[in-house]
């Protein structure tokens, strides 16, 4: 699987940075299409509201827990990736007078908005799973990779036309990974500009 991923990256970037933009446009927008489709499907399932209520109704006492704030800060730094240099590398292709300040604000807003939107998608499915398994939503959820690779696929497997939804979901994950990797490959090769065709 790793070899296949590198092969896809090779064919995506073999003609240089110029062609990577077209690939990134698809890889960056396709997950939004899948998320919208999964949300529409999720809110048609029985018990979806139970999951959404669990998602949007806060537990105020948790705000006193330092670990919650630490996890939130870790998630923001991980999702924005300011220390990786990829954002800086991509910004270096902008015209000299480009408004990078505006772009930085937009990237942060879009990133956080996407996370909130994806939460509705995930928790509508978790509400459905809690209903069909007769459990509380907090008992269905698992943090980390278990949510993406165990709980959510199990919920998709219980849906009608599960094969299609499973394909879209995992293709979305692959698209997200390849999108990130394209940026990292470009960043790494910017130090060696002769490697790219003009």
Binding residue per annotation — 183?
Answer: no
Residue 11 counted as domain residue: no
- Is 176 assigned a ligand-binding role in the annotation? yes
50 lies in a domain? yes
Which string of DSSP letters, residue by residue, matches 14-58? Answer: TT-HHHHHHHHHHHHHHHHHHHHHHHHHHTTSTTHHHHHHHHHS-
Residue 74 lies in a domain: yes
Neighbours of 80 (CB within 10 A): 15
Q: Structural domain of residue 178, as residue ranges?
A: 19-193
Q: Residue 167 has what DSSP assignment?
A: H
Better pLDDT: 191 or 143: 143
pTM of the model as a whole? 0.76
Does any domain span residue 10? no
Domain-located, residue 84: yes
Q: How many domains does the chain have?
A: 1
Q: Over the stretch 118-160, which tens digit does the pLDDT of each residue have?
A: 889 888 888 888 888 888 888 877 666 666 676 677 777 777 7
pLDDT digits (tens, 9 = 90+) for 21-52: 677 777 778 888 888 988 888 888 888 999 99
Annotated binding residue 198:
no
3-class DSSP string for 105-125: HHHHHHHHHHHHHHHHHHHHH
Residue 48's nearest CA partner among 116, 129, 115, 119 is: 129
Establish if 12 belongs to a structural domain.
no
Under DSSP, the state recorded for 151 is: I
| Residue 8 falls inside a structural domain | no
Q: Is residue 156 part of a domain?
A: yes
Contacts of 17 (CB under 8 A, 6+ apart): 93, 186, 196
Do residues 123 and 35 lie in contact, with contact meaning Cβ atoms separated by under 8 Å?
A: no
Collapsed DSSP state (helix, strand, coil) of residue 93:
coil
N residues, the chain: 198
Is 115 known to sit in a ligand binding site? no
Q: Specify the higher pLDDT residue, 190 or 126.
A: 126
Helix (H) or strand (E) holding 67: helix 66-80
């Amino acid at each position: 699987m790793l070899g296949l991923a590198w092969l896809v990256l090779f064919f995506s970037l073999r003609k240089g940075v110029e062609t990577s933009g077209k690939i990134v446009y698809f890889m960056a927008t396709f997950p939004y299409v899948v998320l919208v489709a999964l949300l529409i499907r999720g809110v048609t399932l029985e018990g979806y509201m139970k999951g959404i209520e669990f998602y949007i109704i806060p537990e105020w006492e948790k705000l006193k827990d330092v670990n919650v704030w630490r996890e939130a800060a870790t998630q923001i730094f991980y999702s924005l990736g300011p220390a990786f240099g990829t954002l800086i590398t991509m910004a270096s292709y902008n015209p000299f007078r480009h408004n990078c300040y505006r772009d930085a604000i937009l990237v942060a807003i879009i990133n956080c908005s996407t996370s909130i939107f994806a939460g509705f998608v995930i928790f509508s499915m978790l509400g459905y799973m809690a209903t069909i398994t007769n459990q509380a939503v907090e008992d269905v959820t698992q943090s980390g990779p278990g949510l993406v690779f165990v709980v959510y696929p199990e919920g998709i497997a219980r849906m009608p036309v599960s094969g299609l939804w499973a394909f879209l979901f995992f293709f979305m994950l692959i698209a997200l990974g390849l999108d990130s990797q394209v940026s990292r490959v470009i960043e790494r090769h910017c130090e060696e500009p002769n490697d790219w065709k003009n």
